[in-house]
Amino acid sequence: MAHDSLYAAPPAVEAEPGAGRLATLRGLLGSWDAVIVGALVVAVLVAGLTVENFATGRNAQFLLLDLVPLALIALPMTLIVITGEIDLSVASMVGLCSTLMGQLWLSSGLSLELICVLVVLLGAVLGAVNGLFVTGFGLPSLAVTIGTLALYRGLSFVVLGDQAVADFPADWTAAVVRNIPGTSIPVVVVPLLLLALVFGVVLHATPAGRALYAMGNNDQAATFTGVSVARTKFWLFVVSGAVCGLVGIFWTLRYASARGDNATGLELTVVTAVLLGGVSIFGGRGALLGVLAGVLLLGVLRNALQLADVDANALTIVTGTLLIASVVLPNAVADIRARLHRRRQRRPVAS
Amino acid sequence: MSAYRRGLRVGATSLTLAALLLSAAACGGTTRDNSGNDAGGGTQASGGANPDAAIKEGLKIAFLPKQLNNPYFTVSDNGGKDAVTEIKGEFKEVGPSEASASSQVSYINTLSQQGMDVIVTSANDPNAICGALNQAKAAGAKIVTFDSDTKPECRQIFVNQVTAEGIAENQVKLISQQIGGEGEIAILSATANATNQNAWIALMKDELKKPEYSKIKLVTVAYGNDDDQKSFQETQGLLQSYPNLKGIISPTTVGVAAAGRYLSGSQYKGKVKLTGLGTPNQMRQYVKDGTVDAFALWSPADLGYLAAYAGAALASGQITGAEGDKFKAGKLGEFTVGKDGVVVLGPPTVFDKNNIDQFQF
Amino acid sequence: MSRTDTGAPERATGNAPTEPDRRRHGLTERLLAVRELSLLIALGLLVLVTTVRNDRFLSGQSVKDLLLGCAILVILAVGQTLVIVTRNVDLSVGSILGLVAFATGSLFLSAPGTPWPVALVLGVALGALCGVVNGGLIAVARVPALVITLGTLYAFRGVDYYWASGRQINAADMPSSFLRLGNQTVLGVPVLFLVALVVVAVVGFYLRSYRSGRELYAIGSEPAAARLSGIPVGRRVFAVFVANGALAGLAGVLYAARFGTLDAAAGTGLELQVVAAAVVGGVAIFGGSGSAYGAALGAVLLTTIGSSLAVLRIDPFWQQAVVGALILAAIGLDRLLALRVAARLRGRSAHGA
């Protein structure tokens, strides 16, 4: 079951034959990340020229720091969505990892280094639970991760109640927001880029990566290529959990506060960024660069609108509209192109 | 799939991205301390307060409440706006649509980026926004907290609505009068980590130890999470778990309104007494239908008004936030900064059937 | 993908059911009944345990509170059932509810003399309009419902926030005849609960006995097959979203009547509970199976859990975790049953042939 569940109808595109049409489509979608990068460039230029205080180093630092959690989670999410699954529990995993870190720091007496390792492992376990339900029991990932979204968030409140743990060592909390000397790029961007590189190489330059696309297009076909669909998907969920563990650590240290409501609602932003980056919600399509550009675009827009004193409530509307537009537009454009193409093909036949 | 074309495309996109990042970094390296302390001029003066300094005109004062869509903060921010208008400053209200510390950080960064002279905020978390506030302070902004404080070192002044002792005394006295000085009572609080609520509850417990309250027994503290429905259910749970309950204190506007609504539609109406901290608009109906005898609150508008004046006094160099500094806050008169930079608004107002119609907030 | 088939396609396309079909039908019907029965048993156990700990839990007042508390969730869960049965989902219901609730309050504020039935009709219409936006985007642009309604979850809420801009509407601003609607009882049963019962009965009857109702199951079971057999899939799905929007609108008006204090945050996060109620009530998240009665029972169960946690003085933080665990248990159980049924059916059809 590649596209579980709740997708209104499979995209009509796939149902219709015609190699010409598919070629057009591929051309178009291939260029979607170009479109997003273009939009990003335009957004940065417009913001830089018209919004006061946007094009400064300090602002770049703030912007990037805000984006790191989003970008990190978007990496495994991209791979998961490409296989036709989804993980909505990410923000709750971040929250639970954050409170677990706080609780361990508060009461276990372990060193912070060890706690960090444990938290990443715990994140992986949480992801494994998702993976087990999805691949082991064959349940739709959407339903499973809506369930664990509630479960993990609930547990993160159970772990710390409504308390917050805040007495993390100052050198640690300062370290995560420090800049690379001489620039205004936060140090944490480096591991982010390294991870992005790893994910990018795996997705775009290895047989395993190609298998992910195959899974998104057709589970059975993927099985025939000799890749274990279930096992691969299971590990993707585990990786997603582990990355959420990392983000949980970053979040806790950046805000010097471990509390149950950390990162609430982040899953919606991540999904928005991934879809905006050109990954098809039906699976089988998308690229990591587009997603990173999508993340940046989202961040730049929010930051610029905030600096321009646009109401937070308007920002909510912008996010929702962007999400809808990012799925409606490619479909609509593909439709129109296909229609034009068909007409062009038909004409010579008629004459 | 044409791997070569894809490769090219990937290369091109990554180059563009890298270029973008680099350019962002490049302009960062040079314009590091771009902060708008030009308007404030010499406000950085750390040498001490100058009580005779006049309040500057044109101060940029920003209010950052816990969240935008909370009526309580709408009222207090409007109080702040009145004050800023009086001193001929520039007022601005920004904030997240949900009460989370992380989004407040993002707004603090934006404000310090915009070169605000004063940031007046109510903290969603006493620690989480500290780093951002310190950065803003370093960039030249004065920090005033109101309603909910941060750690003292992250701000110059905390405008407290009322002393915790004042609240505790007032609430215990109200409930004691209403239940006739004896019986079981419970507290319906907001969230278990709400700093101010916990301080009040601890002091209420001390207050109850006094001989005149010896016949009153506090049976439990319930938490309604400042969520209407949750508070409603918790009230219901309290009355079922403690059949002999005589009264409830709910020192939170959300909780007391929900409890009032529950009681007024139940068999306990008028039999189980309710008091707490609520706004007259929310409680009017329950006071008039006899569910609630009396409750208390400070004026949220005055709170915002005072916070704005405190910020302006800081930015003008009248005060530094040290203990003993004095400043004038328009129609509210003179205030003195207490220990740890705390300024107290005053004792709460008690609302009952006779005076409630004079208040609109 | 195997699932509990309700036998809908056969009936919908008007073919006389063949013998194994009918047997199969009987089996799945029984299965659903078992599901509803087990929900009732769970509910009974929960009430029993809570009552043993505290006998006031079954007092008249408490039962009244329970019925009042679950009414709105029941209405939303029943609406969601319509959507989920067609293999879609509507995550924007919480935002629609909030928007309509605030709109209702504003209506009374700007036109104090408005009779409440007018407000009710307008609220339902506004909800339906939101449903038209959802359904239109989904059916016309052929985009997954999950994504669209995630987007409109933001968008509707944003509109609500923008409109309210921090204002609050209080009970004193609304006519008492309207507010009474929220708390009044008829023979000890809250009016709100009676409204919910009517909704459950109507939707339940429609899904079971109307041709177009059965067609919804066919769409959810196999959209392509449904299309081939002549069912207007796009139109049906659109209608379902409009209906769900209208029900969310109804819930919004009732919310305004019940709570009296309204700000823009009304109903935030409710969508999760609604989906949970439907899923716990046996509505298969992958479409094609489930009943309005089950969803309603699921909603009652969830509300009762909330109340009994408060009565048992269990840390309220557990509540959300319990909801999550319930969702997982419910879909796991569904899967297990579906596999069982599939296995038994294979055995039977071997005999039949």
Residue range A90-141, pLDDT digits in tens: 999 999 999 999 999 988 888 899 999 999 999 999 999 999 999 988 888 8
| Residue type at B294 in one-letter notation | A
State the Cα torsion C230-C233-C234-C238 to the nearest 10°.
130
As a whole number of angstroms, the distance between CA B306 and CA C157 comes to 33
CB neighbour list of residue B58: distance below 8 Å, 6 or more residues apart: B39, B88, B89, B90
User: Residue C351: what pLDDT?
Assistant: 55
Contact A327 C155 (CB under 8 A): no
For residues A183 and B29, is the Cβ–Cβ distance under 8 A?
yes
A169: which 2 tokens? 């060592």
Side-chain half-sphere of C229: how many Cα atoms within 13 Å? 18
Helix and strand numbers, DSSP H then E, in chain B: 10, 14
Partner C contacted by B221 (CB < 8 A): no
Counted across chains A and B, CB pairs separated by less than 8 A come out at 149
Interface of C with B in 154-183 (CB under 8 A): 158, 161, 164-168, 170-172, 183
CB neighbour list of residue B279: distance below 8 Å, 6 or more residues apart: B71, B72, B75, B253, B257, B297, B300, B361
Question: For chain B, percent helix, then strand, then coil, each to nearest 5?
Answer: 45, 20, 35
Lowest-pLDDT range, A25-34, A60-69, A305-314?
A25-34
Q: Give the H or E element holding residue C97.
A: helix C93-110
Q: Which residues of chain B have pLDDT under 50?
A: 1-3, 7-8, 20-46
What subunits make at least 3 CB pairs under 8 angstroms with A?
A: B, C
User: C206, exposed or middle or buried, with CB in 10 Å at 0-12, 13-18, 19+?
Assistant: middle
Partner C contacted by A191 (CB < 8 A): no
State the Cα torsion C184-C187-C192-C195 to the nearest 10°.
-140
Q: A194 or A343: which carries more pLDDT confidence?
A: A194
Lowest-pLDDT range, A314-328, B334-348, C70-84, C128-142?
A314-328
Q: Determine the residue among A40, A255, A289 to mutate to test chain B binding: the one whose Cβ has the most chain B Cβ atoms within 10 Å.
A: A255
B277: left (phi over 0), alpha (psi -120 to 50) or beta: beta
Contact B31 A57 (CB under 8 A): yes
C316: which 2 tokens? 């309220």
Residue A108, number of CB atoms within 10 A of its CB:
11
Confidence of residue C30 (pLDDT cuts 50, 70, 90): low
What subunits make at least 3 CB pairs under 8 angstroms with C?
A: A, B
Mean pLDDT to the nearest integer, A86-93: 94
Contact B31 A37 (CB under 8 A): no
Partner C contacted by A152 (CB < 8 A): yes
Partner A contacted by C146 (CB < 8 A): yes
Given C56, C65, C164, which is nearest B243 (Cβ)? C56
Given B28, B129, B130, which is nearest A61 (Cβ)? B28
The three-point CA angle C152-A331-A6 to 5° equals 55
The single residue listed with the structure tokens 């044109």 is B58
Contact A162 B193 (CB under 8 A): yes
Kindly list the distances between the CA atom of residue B105 and the CA atoms of A61, B94, B193, in Å, as whole numbers in the listed order: 13, 12, 19
**Chain A residues close to B113, C-beta within 8 Å:** 53, 56, 58-59, 62, 307
pLDDT in tens, A225-281: 777 889 999 999 999 999 999 999 999 999 988 988 888 888 888 988 998 888 888
Phi, psi (rounded to 5 degrees) for B335: -125, 150
As a whole number of angstroms, the distance between CA C174 and CA C109 comes to 7
Kindly list the distances between the CA atom of residue B80 and the CA atoms of A20, B63, B119, in Å, as whole numbers in the listed order: 64, 8, 12
C258: which 2 tokens? 């019940």
Nearest chain C alpha carbon to B65? C166
Q: Where would I find the beta strands (DSSP E) of chain B?
A: 60-64, 90-93, 118-121, 142-146, 157-160, 183-189, 216-223, 245-250, 273-276, 294-297, 326-328, 334-336, 342-344, 349-352
User: Residue B359: what pLDDT?
Assistant: 81
Q: Say whether C197 sits in a helix, a strand or coil.
A: helix
- Report the percent of chain A where pLDDT is more than 70: 88
Contact C316 B282 (CB under 8 A): no
Lowest-pLDDT range, A7-11, A94-98, C194-198?
A7-11
**Chain centre to alpha carbon of residue B74:** 11
C311: which 2 tokens? 């009565």
B284: which 2 tokens? 């009017």
User: Residue A350: what pLDDT?
Assistant: 52
Counted across chains B and C, CB pairs separated by less than 8 A come out at 83
A292: which 2 tokens? 């990173």
* pTM of the shown model: 0.81
CB neighbour list of residue C42: distance below 8 Å, 6 or more residues apart: C301
DSSP string, A106-175: HHT---HHHHHHHHHHHHHHHHHHHHIIIIIS---HHHHHHHHHHHHHHHHHHHHTT-EE----HHHHHH
Q: Determine the residue among C147, C149, C222, C236 to mutate to test chain A binding: the one whose Cβ has the most chain A Cβ atoms within 10 Å.
A: C147
As a whole number of angstroms, the distance between CA C62 and CA C68 comes to 10
For residues C160 and C102, is the Cβ–Cβ distance under 8 A?
yes
The single residue listed with the structure tokens 């690379």 is A180
User: Residue C128: what pLDDT?
Assistant: 97
Kindly list the distances between the CA atom of residue B220 and the CA atoms of B20, B216, B244, in Å, as whole numbers in the listed order: 58, 12, 13
Contact C317 A275 (CB under 8 A): no
What subunits make at least 3 CB pairs under 8 angstroms with B?
A: A, C
Lowest-pLDDT range, A276-285, B315-324, C247-256, C336-345?
C336-345
Interface of A with C in 192-211 (CB under 8 A): none
Interface of A with B in 290-349 (CB under 8 A): 290, 292-293, 296, 303, 306-307, 309, 311-313, 315-316
C-alpha distance from A210 to closest chain C C-alpha (Å):
24
Contact B101 A255 (CB under 8 A): yes
User: Residue C39: what pLDDT?
Assistant: 84
Q: Is the ipTM of this complex over 0.85?
A: no
Mean pLDDT to the nearest integer, C317-322: 81
Contact C170 B284 (CB under 8 A): yes
Partner A contacted by B195 (CB < 8 A): no
pLDDT at C265 over 90: no
First to last CA, chain C: 24
User: Residue C283: what pLDDT?
Assistant: 87
User: Residue A3: what pLDDT?
Assistant: 39
Residues in chain A: 351
- Least Cα distance to C67 among C239, C212, C189, C222 occurs for C189
pLDDT at A6 over 50: no
Contact C56 B228 (CB under 8 A): no
**Chain A residues close to B194, C-beta within 8 Å:** 162
pLDDT in tens, A127-146: 999 999 999 888 888 889 98
Contact A321 C325 (CB under 8 A): no
The single residue listed with the structure tokens 């049965």 is C85
Contact B6 A55 (CB under 8 A): no
CB neighbour list of residue C332: distance below 8 Å, 6 or more residues apart: A133, A137, A139
Nearest chain B alpha carbon to C167? B71
Nearest chain B alpha carbon to A200? B10
Helix and strand numbers, DSSP H then E, in chain C: 14, 2
As a whole number of angstroms, the distance between CA A72 and CA A63 comes to 14
Helix segments in chain A, DSSP class H: 12-15, 19-30, 32-50, 57-82, 90-107, 112-131, 141-160, 170-177, 189-205, 207-217, 219-224, 229-254, 266-276, 288-307, 312-350
Confidence of residue C328 (pLDDT cuts 50, 70, 90): confident
If you average pLDDT over every residue of chain C, what do you get?
A: 83
pLDDT at A347 over 90: no
Contact C65 B234 (CB under 8 A): no
The single residue listed with the structure tokens 């309040």 is B55
A163: which 2 tokens? 């308390």
Confidence of residue C348 (pLDDT cuts 50, 70, 90): low
User: Residue C50: what pLDDT?
Assistant: 85
User: Residue C15: what pLDDT?
Assistant: 41
Mean pLDDT to the nearest integer, C281-305: 88
Interface of A with B in 97-156 (CB under 8 A): none
**Chain A residues close to B114, C-beta within 8 Å:** 52-53, 307
As a whole number of angstroms, the distance between CA B66 and CA B361 comes to 18
B206: which 2 tokens? 């001390």
Q: C338 or C328: which carries more pLDDT confidence?
A: C328
Partner B contacted by A67 (CB < 8 A): no
As a whole number of angstroms, the distance between CA B168 and CA B174 comes to 10
Nearest chain B alpha carbon to C63? B236
Contact B20 A59 (CB under 8 A): no
Q: Say whether B328 sits in a helix, a strand or coil.
A: strand
User: Residue C27: what pLDDT?
Assistant: 60
C-alpha distance from C233 to closest chain A C-alpha (Å):
9
Residue C308, number of CB atoms within 10 A of its CB:
22
Given B222, B228, B236, which is nearest C307 (Cβ)? B236
Q: Give the H or E element holding residue C185.
A: strand C185-186
User: Residue A15: what pLDDT?
Assistant: 37
**Chain A residues close to B20, C-beta within 8 Å:** 40-41, 44, 296
Contact A10 C223 (CB under 8 A): yes
Contact B69 C307 (CB under 8 A): no
Counted across chains A and C, CB pairs separated by less than 8 A come out at 181
As a whole number of angstroms, the distance between CA B233 and CA A204 comes to 53
Contact C261 B228 (CB under 8 A): yes
C-alpha distance from A209 to closest chain C C-alpha (Å):
25
User: Residue C26: what pLDDT?
Assistant: 60
Confidence of residue A4 (pLDDT cuts 50, 70, 90): very low
